[in-house]
Structure 1
């Protein structure tokens, strides 16, 4: 009985494959392929060069919104991305991490460059004006707001802490929840790079 069920299942799979309905990859993150938001960004990097997803053709791009004075979510996420790149071995060079600052008031280009450099020499940081930052965050459906500190300049930011992954053709593919882990991210990136 079990053998007959297995053969029926195998036959059904063969028919589906013959029809061109290939099974979707089993991502650990949320598959958002075809979403009508977070399609691109156009913001200056720490050297003033305007960057966008399209210029990283051939690489998987991971976009994360954060800020340098973030006490927990930002360094944790960037460390997970760095570890995922290491887990990929040579393919780690085909992954481009991008941090978009949510705090352009305090995150100077010099500070951002030094901050992302702690996680890897190929990490890029982008910093727009407050208006550009708000527009890009809105397009990515990223929430952020100031949380007052004990002094006017000591505020923190409450913000969304997920990452967005684009495939080597520049298409938005994944929404990675905070704390997913480096191994899960590496597994998903391996699938993305094979697409």
Structure 2
């Protein structure tokens, strides 16, 4: 009975996350219509945030989103998903560099208790020298997560090896336009690079 209950809870959580992802599809105007397969009206995603950079400086979204950005919420102690997604996002940036498209990857920690600026810097530097790592206070991280409608929940912190359950979509955010697209985990680096290049060209 207990195992069936856990399965039911897991399926319910997955359905909720999948449903939330569908509802947050951006409303894409004609300027970007050719860059996305479909658009469904949803609420506002993204917007102002204040976090701490990997160099220890307090920064805002205006300081960070200065070029097409692949924004991902995760944490450095993540055993599998975050490193894989970060590596894929970094690969997409390398592919864009080869095409002459100036873009960047941004990693926002949802584990501020362990992820100091130094820890986040060491993590992001593994994947790309220019990947921007951000952390902050619990309040700052929660506010950024709310802005992007992400989900995260840490296990009891009395265990130093606690894990953090979190959503895994990557957001494409453009300066002056904000959030325009998101990518699920199954998206490849090539697909992300192609879509990002299209949005970048359309943005002018």
Give your verdict on TM over 0.5: yes
Question: In the alignment, what sits opposite 1:193?
Answer: 200
Partner of 2:182: 175
- Measure the CA separation in 1 of the matches of 2:47 and 2:108: 14
Which structure exhibits the higher relative contact order, with contacts defined as CA atoms closer than 8 Å and separated by 6 or more residues? 1
Aligned partners of 2:52 and 2:117 also within 8 Å:
no
Structure-2 change in CA distance of 1:170 and 1:61 (3 Å): farther
User: Counterparts of 2:91 and 2:120 in 1: how far apart (Å)?
Assistant: 20
Q: Is the 8 A contact 2:168 2:184 kept in 1?
A: yes
Partner of 2:166: 159
Relative distance call for 1:32 and 1:121 in structure 2 (3 A) is: farther
| TM-superposed deviation, 1:109 | 1.4
Match of 1:96 in 2: 104
Partner residue in 2 for 1:76: 84
Q: Deviations over 1:89-130 (max 9, x none)?
A: 345661121111111111121111011000011011111101
Instruction: For residue 88 of structure 1, report the CA deviation from its aligned partner.
Output: 2.0
In structure 2, the partner of 1:53 is: 61
| Number of residue pairs the alignment of both structures matches | 173
- 5+ unaligned residues in a row in structure 1: which ranges? 1-20
Which of 39, 52, 70 lines up with 1:62 in the alignment?
Answer: 70
Q: Any conservation in 1 of the 2:49–2:140 contact (CA below 8 Å)? A: no
Relative to the length of structure 1, the TM-score reads 0.78
Do the aligned residues in 1 keep the contact of 2:93 with 2:104 (CA within 8 Å)?
no
Structure 1 residues 136-151: aligned runs within 5 Å = 136-148=144-156
TM-score of the pair, normalised by structure 2: 0.75
**1:45 to 1:93, Cα distance in 2 relative to 1, 3 A:** farther
Gaps of 5+ in 2: 1-29
Q: 2:60, 2:40 → 1: CA distance?
A: 19
Decide whether aligned partners of structure 1 residues 163 and 23 sit closer, same or farther in structure 2, where only a CA change above 3 A counts. closer
Equivalent of 1:37, from 24, 39, 45? 45
